[in-house]
Structure 1
Amino acid sequence: MADQHSTLRERRRAQTQRTIQAHAVRLFAERGYDATTVTDVAEAAGVSPMTVYRHFPTKEDLVLADQHGRLVAERIAASGGGLPLVRRIGGALVESGAALTADDGAREFLLTRLRLMISTPALRAKHLDNQYALLQAIIGALGDDAADPEAAFQAQAAASACLAALHTALVRWAEQDGREELPGLTAKALSAVFGDGPLSHRGG
């Protein structure tokens, strides 16, 4: 029974987070990031400003918070050891991009968030923290492939290069209003860095 209550609380918490973020991103896109306050977001979401801050400690988090790190880490862990680092990391980035754009609503939401990140100086600066957190999630998911200092160094170098390619793909995707599929653009950016061998994208 306790586990059921815990699961229900987590679902409600996740739903509240999604509702708050959806209203925040909509308002930022309509009114401008700087012109929209946390109180505005709280009123639109039907919650108190304190509830907003409980779920999103900073205003920037209302745009930047996402599940990307978890998705990438899960796919890296599922790929198992033995594969080249670039294939494990790059493949996870391509697959997570496909998951994040699986339906039109999710795709448009991600596009709007990316446009805000690109156009808002405060979000561009905070985005570096997100990249570091994603890097750490990748290293953690690699397990034995990053278990000792030398392996961790190689993993960090590979992950950093893959994330730079991903960033280039995301910016291009947003600038093109999503005309190309994000997984294909990500694979293309990775191939520009590593060549065609390490990974290829099937479909879109």
Structure 2
Amino acid sequence: MANSGLRERKKAKTRETILREAFRLFREQGYHATTTEQIAEAAEIAPSTFFRYFPTKEDLVTLDSFPPIVEALAIQPPELDPLGALRAAFATAFTSLSDEQINAGRDREVFAATVPDLIAANLRKSPRIIGEISRILADRTGRAPDDPELRNIIGAAFGVVAMVWIQWARDDTMDAPAEVDNALAHLQSGLKV
């Protein structure tokens, strides 16, 4: 059991090192000019190790899943409505992340919001996470995962979160977790101005 915990911590540290070095190189050289071999060398790992963590360079920057939000949504109290559960899940997910993980998220967003290939890749991958969220909210509400009202709630929530991400990519002083919560609170209030 102790070895399993140590192994998982080492994997997490290796993953964070790969991300940190990749984004450092992306900032210095640009996304397209940086190779996976350069990233592996900077992270002091073999190229084959890089590919065990990230199948492609694109996978450093794109998300086809966000386990913290999915796991956090699954444990929210049943009395919360779908939007309240999503807001609480985002807060819980951010709390579970280290400062280094949050900073890596910002680094990812800078490139995800500014490199056209990555914008398209994230759009291609977003149905997976939206599908996971839809299934959880459908189970919570007794509705079908493709229920139009659930679709609208998820779309609105992820829309305001995406707008925060875009702003965060341009403003490194922003407290993104707090702004996400503020944005979702505003959405819950009916978007009153």
Give TM-score scaled by structure 1 length.
0.77
Size of the aligned set, in residue pairs, is 191
- Preserved CA contact (<8 Å) 2:18 2:40: yes
Equivalent residue for 1:201?
A: none
Q: Which residue of 1 aligns with 2:181?
A: 187
Q: Distance in 1 between matches of 2:145 and 2:18?
A: 42
Residue 54 of structure 1: how far off its partner (Å): 1.7
Query: Given that residues 69 and 133 in structure 1 are in contact (C-alpha distance below 8 angstroms), is that contact kept between their aligned partners in structure 2?
Result: no
Pairing partner for 1:18 from 16, 28, 34: 16
Amino acid at match of 1:133: R
Report if aligned partners of 1:111, 1:178 keep a CA contact under 8 Å in 2: no
Partner of 2:81: 84
8 Å CA contact retained: 1:17, 1:55: yes
> What residue in structure 1 maps to residue 118 of structure 2?
123
Task: Give 1:111 shift.
Answer: 2.3
Whole-Å separation in 2 of the counterparts to 1:188 and 1:11: 32
3-state DSSP of counterpart to 1:27? helix
CA 1:75–1:122: 2 relative to 1, 3 Å: same
Q: Is the 8 A contact 1:20 1:42 kept in 2?
A: yes
Deviation at 1:190, TM superposition (A): 2.9
Distance 1:87 1:24, change over 3 A: same
Q: 1:47 aligns with which of 42, 45, 58?
A: 45
Equivalent residue number for residue 196 of structure 1 = 189
Pairing 1:32-181 to 2, within 5 Å after superposition: 32-65=30-63, 69-97=66-94, 99-100=96-97, 103=99, 105-142=100-137, 144-145=139-140, 147-149=142-144, 152-179=147-174, 181=175
Check the 8 A contact 2:94/2:177 in 1, yes or no.
Answer: yes
Shift of 1:164: 0.9
TM-score (norm 2): 0.81
Alpha carbons 1:97, 1:183 under 8 Å: kept: yes
Letter in 2 for 1:155: L
Q: What are the Cα deviations for residues 25-60 of structure 1, in whole angstroms up to 9, with x where unaligned? A: 111111110010011111111222222112101111
Per-residue deviation, 1:110: 2.6
Residues 117-161 of structure 1: CA deviation (Å, up to 9, x unaligned): 112112111112443232133234336225542775533332222
Identity of aligned residues (%): 30
